[in-house]
Structure 1
Amino acid sequence: MQDPEASAEPDRDCPLCPRLVAFREDWRDKEPDWHNAPVAPFLPVGGSAAVRLLVVGLAPGLRGANRTGRPFTGDYAGTLLYETLTKFGFANGRFAARTDDGLELFETAIVNAVRCVPPENKPVPPEIHTCRQFLTGPMASFGNLRAIVTLGRIAHDSTLRVLGVKLKAAPFGHGVLHEVAGLRIVSSYHCSRYNTNTGVLTTEMFEDVFAKAAAILKG
């Protein structure tokens, strides 16, 4: 869902990160029917004003959001994320890894710290810094935001920097809850296939993070 009142989004042909531009153009040549562009936030029913929970990811997956144009759609990480959101009432359970599946979010928005797909899923510091302006805009538009779930250290640190918080004041750690800038932040290991296959992250560990977020919203 797109919100016309949201802050400025990067252009489809955003030129700001040369390495990401080159990678994007290469994949446009290889797969012209894919999205192959910056991926906009996925907003809930009701738009920005309805957002009480924000999920911040790392970057679009090559064959996931970079292909489909919707965060966490088209790869394994999305399956785990949307199943978990559904379990806690933040989604309607219609996730089928494609954008016409009828999936809707409730009180929850999803955005990536880096909007374009990076080579090997690894953005470099200048790209993370440059793209932070596009995380700042949406967060500023969420006037009813109460809680944030950060998926991985990069997403966590970028979120803190947007909020003007020193990293040492709220260090990353799976399942750790911090209160900063009037918000509650729960950090999680990223729900990537690598983390789940190696046992770094289990379904139970991931669900525990969103149980904490749900408890915050219930007050």
Structure 2
Amino acid sequence: MQLPHPRTGLPFPTPVPPGTGWPGDPATSATAVATSAAAVESLAGAVASLDELDALVSVCRACPRLVEWREEAAAVKRKAFADQPYWGRPAPGWGDAHPRILVVGLAPAAHGANRTGRVFTGDRSGDFLFAALHRGGLANQALCVDAADGLALNDVRVAAAVRCAPPANAPTPAERAACAPWLDAEWRLVRGDVRVVVALGGFAWKVALQMLRRGGEEVAVPAPQFGHLAEATVGAVTLLGCYHPSQQNTFTGKLTPAMMDGVFSRARDLAEL
């Protein structure tokens, strides 16, 4: 049975079963399900394509606390979205299959990507991010509401360090470590094209440095420090810092549209776009 468009709000089992028609669902009922950190490491190490990686990520159940939280959020729902279906599964990376720019964030929001099924989609952080990408010519539109809204990225791929929505936006060290092989696999599959890694926030900056180090790049000691528009050359890529587009930053003016435009203007220059 095919699911309706997400905005219709018709009911369905929680979380969305793989292969039942959710727009952009990369998995099928035959996709292998990782149920432990060891399984994540094994599956991620063997993955051969982004499509395969996205499918595996989207059904991962390696972290019991995160599985319980994301599925509870999808069942209880926020009042504003009570009539809408929720994805309730991990959010894979998405965007250009041959990106010159890789954007790394922290984790899906419980009522953002955990609802829409697409990272940085369905919350104000995503609205801010994709509006900036559109202004910079890196997205075909500013509209970003769900996985069927027609948004496409140009030369950019977006991924999260942790793929499940965590309680209080705070994954534990063990959960971060369990999820890291998914990002490592993503980096292995796109690193030949990427020239710039944009880290959204200090945590993403540290994660990106770890990803690059595990990927075989030499990272300076002491490690480069995060800052807005901070740059660090690591091997063949430039790591570029940006304040996270959280409401805490955008509502207070710590991060303005002009500041984020500056980040992606610099990223375009570094990526020679």
TM over 0.5: yes
Aligned to 2:198, the other structure's residue is in SS state strand
What displacement does 1:22 show?
1.8
For 1:77 and 1:99, the matched residues in 2 are separated by 16
Letter in 2 for 1:85: L
* Alpha-carbon distance in structure 2 between the residues aligned to 1:28 and 1:195: 26
How far does the alpha carbon of each residue in 1:97-134 deviate from its partner, in whole angstroms, 9 at most, with x for none? Answer: 12211111111100001100001112222211221111
How many Å separate the matches in 2 of 1:11 and 1:182?
27
Structure 1 residue aligned with 2:32: none
Superposed, 1:10-159 pairs within 5 Å as 10-31=56-77, 33-44=85-96, 47=97, 50-142=98-190, 143-159=192-208
One-letter code aligned to 1:195: N
Aligned to 2:249: 195
In structure 2, C-alpha distance between the alignment counterparts of 1:218 and 1:162, rounded to whole Å: 23
After TM superposition, the score normalised by the length of structure 2 is 0.73
Q: CA deviation at 1:12?
A: 4.2
1:94/1:211 CA distance change after superposition, 3 Å = closer
**Higher alpha-carbon deviation: 202-211 or 20-29:** 20-29
* 1:157–1:167 Cα contact (<8 Å) kept: no
Relative to structure 1, is the Cα distance of residues 100 and 25 closer, same or farther in structure 2, using a 3 angstrom cutoff?
closer
- Using the TM superposition, give the Cα deviation of residue 166 of structure 1 relative to its aligned residue in structure 2, in angstroms: 5.8
Change (3 A) 1:11 1:82: closer
- Structure 1 residues 13, 194: CA separation in 2 closer, same or farther (over 3 Å shift)? same
Query: RMSD across aligned C-alpha pairs, in angstroms?
Result: 2.1
Structure 1 segments, 4+ long, off by >6 Å, are: none
- Number of residue pairs the alignment of both structures matches: 215
**Letter aligned with residue 71 of structure 2:** E
Counterpart residue identity of residue 104, structure 1: A
TM-score normalized by the length of structure 1: 0.90
Q: How many Å apart are 1:187 and its aligned residue? A: 0.7
User: Match of 1:8, as an amino acid?
Assistant: L
The gaps in structure 1 that reach 5 residues or longer are: none
State the identity as a percent: 36
Structure 1: which amino acid aligns with 2:204?
Answer: A
User: Conserved in 1, the CA contact under 8 Å of 2:130 and 2:139?
Assistant: yes
CA displacement at 1:94 relative to structure 2 = 4.9
- Matches of 2:197 and 2:49 in 1, distance apart? 21
Return 92-101 or 178-187, whichever deviates more: 92-101
CA pair 199-11 structure 1, distance change in 2 beyond 3 A: closer
Corresponding residue of 2:49: 5
CA distance in 1, matches of 2:95, 2:221: 27
**CA 1:11–1:207 in structure 2 vs 1: closer, same or farther (change >3 Å)?**
closer
**Where does structure 2 lack aligned partners over 5 or more consecutive residues?**
1-23, 27-47, 78-83, 214-218
